[in-house]
Structure 1
Amino acid sequence: MKKLLIAVFVLSLVTACKKEAGKPVPNEIDSIAQNKTDTAGTVQTHADKEAALKLVNDEVLKALKAKDYATFASFIHPQKGIRFSMYAFVNLKEDKHFSKADFEKYQPTKTLFTWGTQDGSGDPYKATINDYLGKWVFSKDFTASQYSVNKFIGGGNSLNNLKEIYPKADFTENYIKGTEKSGNMDWKTVRFVFEEFEGKYYLIAVVNDQWTI
Structure 2
Amino acid sequence: MKNFIIPVLSLALLAACKKNPEKPVPNVIDSMAQAREKNMETAVQKKKTDEIAVKAANDGILQALKSKDYKAFATFIHPEKGISFSMYGFVNPKEDMHFSKADFEKFQPTKTVFTWGAQDGSGDPYKATIKDYFAKWVFSKDFTTAQYSLNKFQAGGNSLNNVKEIYPGKDFTENYIKGTEKNGEMDWKTIRFVFEEFQGKQYLVAVVNDQWTI
Report if TM-score (shorter chain) is over 0.5.
Answer: yes
For normalisation by structure 2, the TM-score amounts to: 0.86
Give the CA deviation at 1:121. Answer: 1.1
Q: Any idea what SS the aligned residue of 2:172 has?
A: strand
* 1:88-143 superposed Cα distances (whole Å, 9 cap, x missing partner): 00111211111111111110011111000000111110111001011100011111
For normalisation by structure 1, the TM-score amounts to: 0.87
Give the CA deviation at 1:164. Answer: 1.1
State how far apart, in whole Å, the 1-side matches of 2:194 and 2:81 are. 12
* 1:189 matches 2:186: no
Gaps of 5+ in 2: 1-24
**Aligned-residue identity in percent:** 68
> 1:2-41 counterparts in 2 under 5 A?
25-41=26-42
Gaps of 5+ in 1: 1-23
Cα RMSD between the aligned structures?
Answer: 1.1
Give the CA deviation at 1:191. Answer: 0.4
* 1:6-32 superposed Cα distances (whole Å, 9 cap, x missing partner): xxxxxxxxxxxxxxxxxx811221122
Matched with 1:209 is 210
State how far apart, in whole Å, the 1-side matches of 2:32 and 2:82 are. 44
State how far apart, in whole Å, the 1-side matches of 2:159 and 2:61 are. 25
* 1:63-109 superposed Cα distances (whole Å, 9 cap, x missing partner): 00000001101111111111000000011121111111111111001
Matched with 1:107 is 108
State how far apart, in whole Å, the 1-side matches of 2:103 and 2:46 are. 34
State how far apart, in whole Å, the 2-side matches of 1:129 and 1:168 are. 29
